[in-house]
Structure 1
Amino acid sequence: MSNWRDSKFITPLARFTDRLIWLSEHPVFGVMAIALVAFGTRFWNIDGTADIVFDEVYYPKFAQNYLRGETLFDAHPPLAKYIIALGIQLLGYAPLGYRCMTALAGSLLPLITYEFVWQLSDRRSWAWLTGWFIAMDGLLLVESRFGLINIYILLFGMLSQLCMVLALKRSRQRWFWTIITGLMLGASISVKWTGLAYIIGLVAIAGYAWSRYRQTLNAAQIVIGLIIVPIAFYFLQWIPHLMINPERDIWELHRQIIGFHQNLGVGKTEPIHPYCSPWWSWVLLIRPIAYFFENRPNSMVEFVHAMGNPLLYWLSAIALLLCLSFVIASKFRFPPQAITQIPLRERSQLFWLMFYVTTSFLAHWLPWSLSKRCIFLYHYMPASVFAFAALALLVSLLWRSPLPNIRALGGGIFAIVAIAFLFWLPIYIGLPISSGYLPMLMWLRSWI
């Protein structure tokens, strides 16, 4: 019976896994596959779902205000609206115009993160899996298909991480890449202030580079490139906004923005929005956000649900716990035998990679525990990338096993994430579905 099961299930899965491993080690084909899925799912029919979806009531209008020179008040820095305005300038004030730049940013995110992980670790399979998991997440997909701004935080934030690695690896171009790192960090903060959390990742990368390669930035590069440049970029990007809105200086404007966020929902006995969710629930995907719902003829509905890939979220939560456990156990005076059996150099690299992933995740996630305002699942997006990277790292380690069954386990994890992505794809991209089929997609009552 055991041999029958092996031949019936394990052997085909092992062959499937070996093909995935081959694809991950041949970047021309592997990266093209990621790009095809990322661009295809983000650009397909992006102007086919309503004219206004969720917070598109704000951001495209603000972008249009900048183009027309009309006054406005926005509770976030203006950079993302400038970028949306560029799409409107090119393609007009229509869904395609104010969604195209966001779709481009969301399509590039898996590729940029792939390159970052590859440059950081020299592990092709980890980089490839991370890119795939980002491409196959539902929330990142939904946020990339509309005129919203959260995806730009991730785009510029991950670019800052990539440029930091390049700055430390390329000593002859260190000043150039350090300046670009500062610009990308400043750009992330210029979308929303939560981009500040990427600083933790930059520090962890610096620690890894010093530990492994004895490479570091000098004091001038840190002060100019990583402090002065992002601050200067942040304040300079306000100039067009201030020219259109001269009634407030930069300091008064920031006081009003801070006051807006501090007072949002204060004194309310009930949540100000039905899809508010506590920060701790995001990891478990307890409360997604309905962005659009419309009844269609013949008992059909069009539904866009800002919901992560459930299997990807839940497996990533387990992976984060395992990575955190490894980091803590590695620093014990007497670490577990399973850890001591790993060669010292390999163990040191794994420690730093898992340390980077877990600290970056916590830096983007834990600060929300202090928030008193209504918060949403989309605030988890920057942290989710590092959760996916944790899962990708563990799967890549399974793929390195000499045992076919262990490699097959890694292939099985990839397969169920991909199947889950396809299963929930209709409510990510707003495909018309039967109203009777919709309850099959709503596994938890809190998802409704």
Structure 2
Amino acid sequence: MGGPIGSEESMLRPMVALAPLRPRPEPQPSDTARGWLVTIALTLFAGVLRFARLNYPTDGGTPMFDEKYYADQAWQMLSGGRGIEDNPGYALVVHPPVGKLLIALGEAIFGYTPLGWRFSAAVAGTLLVLLVIRIVRRMARSTLIGAIAGVLMLADGVTFVNSRIGLLDIFQTLFVTAAFGCLIVDRDRMRERMARADAAGRLLAHRFGPRLGVRWWRFGAGVLLGLACGTKWSGLYFVIFFLVLSLGFDIAARRAYGVRQPWLGTAVRDLAPAVYALVFIALAVYLASYAGWFADETAVDRYEVGVHVGPGGPFSWVPDALRSLWFYQGAMLDFHVQLTNTNGYHHPWESKPWTWPMGLRPTLYYFPKPPETTGCGQASCVRAVMLVGTPVIWWPAFPVLGWSLWQSVVRRDWRFIAVLTAYGAGWLPWFADLDRQMYFFYATVMAPFLVMALALTLGQVLGRPGQSAERRGIGLLLVSIYLALAIANFAWLYPILTGVPITPATWNRELWLPSWQ
């Protein structure tokens, strides 16, 4: 029998001090070779789909939809030899040069042809599949879930169509997704550094926690965000949201490792480096994208100081070239500000952001009139290219977003928090000016993050390793059925995603909603 409390026996028992809890290690999947084999196989298949008949369809070799702007401007950048659009015939160039420079690379290889102005987009769309697979694999710590994300990207109509047309959105999507991936790697690297500091006894030496050193992955994210902004200005939304996300990762890491003042520690240790990497580096890259403009004596608005910009004033200390560029950017901004329904700008295929998550109002890129007369086995045929989200992937958007929000708020699952942050950056800011003319192709940048949320959710449907074999078998069955439906849905829509000649009856069967017409 044990002695009473306070007895000699109880006092001689060793005292055990409770150590503060530390995060469990988050090792990456050990199947490195298999992970890359799956990644490469799915990426190659994506490339085959995106490059197949890339020069089709067109009307006599001419651009379709807004290719008429970007293909021409890219060719002028190339043929002018200065990497800038300085043709006075352009009333106004309304987007920065990075995306058009990439289009010009394809034109440099294949000339002013449909293949030339679409080649770089197809490369970007193929690389996007690779990135999504690797990012999801890292977040989920599972090659299988990364492969699920890759299959969904293959079956996504939005990124597929925009990989086969010479527009800017696929380039911005690639840069934004790559920047997101850099921040995910940066999060893991910083937690590894925190763990090493903890093992060395340096973690709690200061109330702010340790310094985390140079963060090259976050620096890389800043470079990529600069390229995203240099493609379309809406990349700025991701600069803001990703800055908040990166700082949130830092706060969470310092809290997890028991830093006494994690919020203040992040403000002191991490805020300035984060702003430098994600804001100032992005700004520097953006300015560098205008190198051709700075070097070109005939560039649009190149010498505005003393013409439309006064030589004096509080900003007279700023170099004239930068002041002229500021004026040029102001003219671009004015175009976008004035592009509103109130000002009479309407388009039959415009849409508002509340329709984007489910793709309720797609964009018709190509529909020649009169209809084609051959190719479908009947006297009258239809050829169309429509930017439409695969319904099996896009229509569950709101339930998936709701589940992701639940996981973020209740379970505090950092993976869903990160994906929702990126998805929100591509969607929420557009609600600030609903009068503006908008199109569904603006939602291209949302597609990878919708796929990531779907893949993470399907990973939970698969079940955890510790669950019963029957539970995991049912989960695998449900996920397999869903993926099969997504692939079948993509195959069904394939003719209107690529302009394959079809009969009018088939065309009508492809239009699932009245809003698709």
Structure 1 CA distance for aligned equivalents of residues 510 and 37 of structure 2: 32
Structure 1 CA distance for aligned equivalents of residues 407 and 218 of structure 2: 31
> 1:169-210 deviations in whole A, cap 9, x for unaligned?
446994433322211111111111111232324532553465
> 1:137-194 deviations in whole A, cap 9, x for unaligned?
1111111101111011111111112222333444699443332221111111111111
1:107 aligns with 2:121: no
CA contact (8 A) 2:351 2:361 kept: yes
Structure 1 CA distance for aligned equivalents of residues 132 and 186 of structure 2: 16
- Select 1:236's aligned residue among 260, 275, 288: 288
Q: Look up the equivalent residue of 1:406 and give its one-letter code.
A: G
1:38-117 matched pairs, under 5 angstroms: 38-50=46-58, 51-69=62-80, 70-71=86-87, 72=90, 73-117=92-136
Q: How far does residue 24 in structure 1 lie from its aligned partner after superposition?
A: 12
For normalisation by structure 1, the TM-score amounts to 0.84
| Greater helix content | 1
Larger mean Cα displacement after TM superposition, 370-379 or 224-233: 224-233
Q: Look up the equivalent residue of 1:52 and give its one-letter code.
A: P
CA contact (8 A) 2:187 2:249 kept: no
| Structure 1 SS opposite 2:367 | strand
Partner residue in 2 for 1:355: 417
Structure 2 CA distance for aligned equivalents of residues 125 and 208 of structure 1: 25
1:95-174 matched pairs, under 5 angstroms: 95-170=114-189, 174=214
Structure 1 CA distance for aligned equivalents of residues 425 and 120 of structure 2: 27
Structure 1 CA distance for aligned equivalents of residues 495 and 137 of structure 2: 32
Q: Look up the equivalent residue of 2:293 and give its one-letter code.
A: H
Closer, same or farther in 2 for the Cα pair 1:419/1:174, shift >3 Å? farther
Q: Which runs of 5+ in 1 are unaligned?
A: 1-22, 331-346
Q: How far does residue 275 in structure 1 lie from its aligned partner after superposition?
A: 0.5
Kindly tell me the number of residue pairs found equivalent between the two proteins: 406
- Select 1:325's aligned residue among 400, 406, 410: 406
CA contact (8 A) 2:108 2:116 kept: yes
Structure 1 CA distance for aligned equivalents of residues 271 and 478 of structure 2: 46
CA contact (8 A) 2:54 2:115 kept: yes
1:421 aligns with 2:490: yes
CA contact (8 A) 2:179 2:221 kept: yes
Q: How far does residue 128 in structure 1 lie from its aligned partner after superposition?
A: 2.1
1:390 aligns with 2:453: yes
Structure 2 CA distance for aligned equivalents of residues 25 and 424 of structure 1: 34
CA contact (8 A) 1:205 1:356 kept: no
1:272 aligns with 2:346: yes
Larger mean Cα displacement after TM superposition, 386-395 or 236-245: 236-245
CA contact (8 A) 2:151 2:483 kept: no
Instruction: State the percentage of identical aligned residues.
Output: 28
CA contact (8 A) 2:132 2:452 kept: no
Structure 2 CA distance for aligned equivalents of residues 263 and 103 of structure 1: 32
Structure 2 CA distance for aligned equivalents of residues 363 and 201 of structure 1: 8
> 1:210-264 deviations in whole A, cap 9, x for unaligned?
5357698745632432222111111121121342332552111111111101111
Larger mean Cα displacement after TM superposition, 274-283 or 384-393: 384-393
Structure 1 CA distance for aligned equivalents of residues 133 and 214 of structure 2: 21
CA contact (8 A) 1:312 1:417 kept: yes
Partner residue in 2 for 1:439: 508
Structure 2 CA distance for aligned equivalents of residues 268 and 352 of structure 1: 43
Structure 2 CA distance for aligned equivalents of residues 209 and 395 of structure 1: 28
Q: Look up the equivalent residue of 2:75 and give its one-letter code.
A: Q
> 1:111-154 deviations in whole A, cap 9, x for unaligned?
11222223334232332222222221111111110111101111
